[in-house]
């Protein structure tokens, strides 16, 4: 902007702009040269290449391995990945990383999680009464077995049972292809007695072969 004003003023413009904004004559002259050449050497960048604060993953290369270790010990089951659902909050993770000589804000932790394909998850039905006193230890043991067997080339499967569905002409979740304006008509109420059978859809996922059944 200063260079544009100096060009607009013409003779003596550099001196006038320098007194008005405090920039050096060298900086103003460099800007005038770039405008007159109509081709910035930085290809539209505001800062020169390499300027600015380095990403935390470069200035602190140990933060991602440390984050992975924290995530691995505080996860819950996921049918498509070996324990990749994080149950620890970003504030908790940030505090633990900071205590481990990796100072970072909880906002940055959330950004790192998104970059590593983590996302916020809805509630999961994982609690059946009181938690077992060794609940976290059980998950860590399962995760250790999963990784050990995957490394050895052994099969590892995850079985996921979905919400039960009524068998019959009742409303159930899901969609199917039909002609336009011709939906399947079902009963208006879906709270039948115990004589109506129920189905329990389930899926099996082979982690090593990335195949589902």
Residue 57 has pLDDT above 50, yes or no: yes
Tell me the two tokens of residue 73: 């010990």
Residue 83 has pLDDT above 50, yes or no: no
- What is the b/e burial string over 37-64, where b = at least 16 CB atoms within 10 angstroms of the residue's CB? eeeeeeeeeeeeeeeeeeebeeebeebe
Does pTM surpass 0.85? no
Q: Taking all residues of the chain, what is their mean pLDDT, rounded to a whole number?
A: 76
Q: Calculate what percentage of the chain has a pLDDT beyond 70.
A: 73
Contact 13, 23 (CB under 8 A): no
Residue 103 has pLDDT above 80, yes or no: yes
Tell me, what's the pLDDT at 105? 92
Q: Indicate the pLDDT class of residue 63, thresholds 50, 70 and 90.
A: very high
Tell me, what's the pLDDT at 92? 85
Q: Calculate what percentage of the chain has a pLDDT beyond 90.
A: 6
Tell me, what's the pLDDT at 87? 66
Residue 100 has pLDDT above 80, yes or no: yes
Q: Is 50 left (phi over 0), alpha (psi -120 to 50) or beta?
A: left
Tell me, what's the pLDDT at 10? 86
């Amino acid at each position: 902007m200063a260079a544009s004003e100096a060009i607009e003023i013409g003779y003596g413009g550099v001196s006038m702009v320098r007194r008005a904004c405090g920039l050096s004559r060298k900086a103003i002259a460099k800007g005038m040269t770039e405008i007159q050449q109509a081709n910035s050497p930085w290809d539209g960048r505001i800062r020169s290449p390499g300027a600015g604060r380095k990403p935390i993953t470069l200035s602190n290369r140990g933060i991602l391995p440390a984050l992975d270790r924290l995530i691995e010990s505080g996860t819950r089951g996921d049918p498509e990945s070996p324990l990749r659902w994080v149950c620890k909050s970003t504030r908790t993770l940030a505090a633990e990383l900071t205590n481990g000589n990796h100072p970072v804000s909880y906002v940055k932790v959330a950004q790192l999680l998104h970059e590593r394909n983590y996302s916020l998850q809805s509630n999961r039905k994982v609690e059946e009464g009181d938690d077992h006193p060794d609940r976290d230890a059980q998950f860590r043991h399962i995760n250790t077995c999963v990784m050990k067997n995957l490394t050895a080339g052994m099969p590892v499967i995850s079985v996921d049972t979905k919400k039960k569905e009524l068998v019959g002409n009742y409303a159930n979740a899901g969609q199917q292809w039909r002609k336009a304006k011709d939906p399947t008509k079902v009963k208006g109420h879906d709270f039948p007695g115990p004589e109506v059978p129920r189905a329990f859809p389930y899926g099996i996922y082979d982690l090593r072969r990335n195949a589902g059944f």
